[in-house]
Structure 1
């Protein structure tokens, strides 16, 4: 059994004149990420392997989760290929993971994450919103055999605020 938890970065700010990769989180993005991380940790174990896009907004979202999980700052790995908006590089990354790794969490971007959730999960979502989280389970032993799995969990920040 393999598990992938995808977390889209928090809401980013467009008020700074910076490149896309350097765009920071808005305060709403920080608050939503913390809300989702706290909800996730209530009923899920902390993933042993955490990977993030190098984009400031994804890296900052990852940092919020790491804080909520009470992990050290070096408990995640920055992967350049996760700065991907189509999903092909994310899928390629997942398929090349060592088979000794069973449970991963990835921080990244749309449209990649919505596409991956709809290709590999069994519940359709129209759009994974910022700070949204989806946990997918796969009945495989080897990452290279990645195929359709089951959607175990979807956490949408807006739904936590009701």
Structure 2
């Protein structure tokens, strides 16, 4: 059975680099990030993408990105799940998540953070994923003939990479 994995970097959030006012995990999406997330969700819907579950880290910006994408795709609350280990635990946490998925699921999305999500996409495929994922970039990976528990290094194929900027340019 074919498996589809959509890796999405969170959309544009508040810049916390110069502020002691709030913790990194509390950074919210700014209006640009809200629009990016909605565009990505709209793109996924219009391209006929079917996602059974969207996982995200406990950071506010990943949750907001996931929720806005889910809203555009008319996915209910039960399709969203926060995973603590996706925040600051490295690419191994992403692998542990997908290796633990039940075989009844065939298509998921993970909304995460750089550099982990970029490293993870590069780890899973032999294909050139074009390096650093910009904010609200989506990489679609496919795995054929393997169980979730068997997915490992270089076992996937990159189907598509969509940078939200390319979607913005197509609307003009």
Scaled by the length of structure 2, the TM-score of the pair is 0.87
Asked if 1:86 corresponds to 2:81, the answer is: no
Partner of 1:11: 12
Cα-to-partner distance string for 1:58-77 (whole Å, 9 max, x where unaligned)? 00001101110112233211
Query: What residue number does 1:125 align with?
Result: 130
Return the alpha-carbon distance in structure 2 between the equivalents of residues 85 and 111 of structure 1: 11
RMSD value, Cα: 1.6
Q: Deviations over 1:43-85 (max 9, x none)?
A: 1333112211111000000110111011223321111111136
Aligned residue for 1:115, secondary structure, equals helix
Gaps in structure 1 of 5+ consecutive residues: none
Of 21, 24, 39, the match for 2:25: 21
Q: Give the counterpart of 2:75 among 71, 74, 80.
A: 71
Alignment correspondent of 2:163: 156
> Which ranges in structure 2 are unaligned for 5 or more consecutive residues?
none
Task: Extract structure 1 runs of 4+ deviating beyond 6 A.
Answer: none
1:109 corresponds to: 113
